[in-house]
Amino acid sequence: MDVISLGGLRTALQTGGLRAVGVTASGGLFFVTAQPRSGGWLVLATTRGKQARGFRDPGKAILLLHEIGVTKIAVDVSGWKPGRAAVEGRRRPDVSARQRRVHGVAKLVAGLVPEGG
């Protein structure tokens, strides 16, 4: 399957170049798929455009499609394995570490400020 950028998907939708748009499950992730009038299938790419963009939450994929004007979506969950979402999802250790630091500082500050102000 070839990949398509969000801008390319939006343009293809607006120009009538798509036969169908859907959300397809594979393992624990959901992928936005599109069938162009020329045949074949496309999958929505990551921002950098080199690989398929997987969503852990199908609602986020559907919301994205709704925001660009898609009104009919086919959903295929035949390949869905809910237990795989935690394993296959993107990890952000940098965000996790930052959040731990922020919470640590918040606790420290809360300890320094007397109750009530």
- Cβ–Cβ < 8 Å for 62, 71: no
Cα angle 70-24-34, degrees, rounded to a multiple of 5: 45
pLDDT tens digits, 37-84 = 999 999 999 987 789 999 989 999 999 999 999 999 999 999 988 877
pLDDT category of residue 16 using cuts at 50, 70 and 90: very high
pLDDT category of residue 19 using cuts at 50, 70 and 90: very high
Residues 6+ apart with CB under 8 A from 108: none
Provide the terminal-to-terminal Cα distance of the chain, rounded to the nearest Å: 59
Tell me if residue 74 falls in helix, strand or coil: strand
Report how far residue 47's alpha carbon sits from residue 3's, in angstroms, rounded to the nearest whole number: 11
The pTM of this model reads 0.72
Name the strand (E) or helix (H) holding 24. Answer: strand 18-26
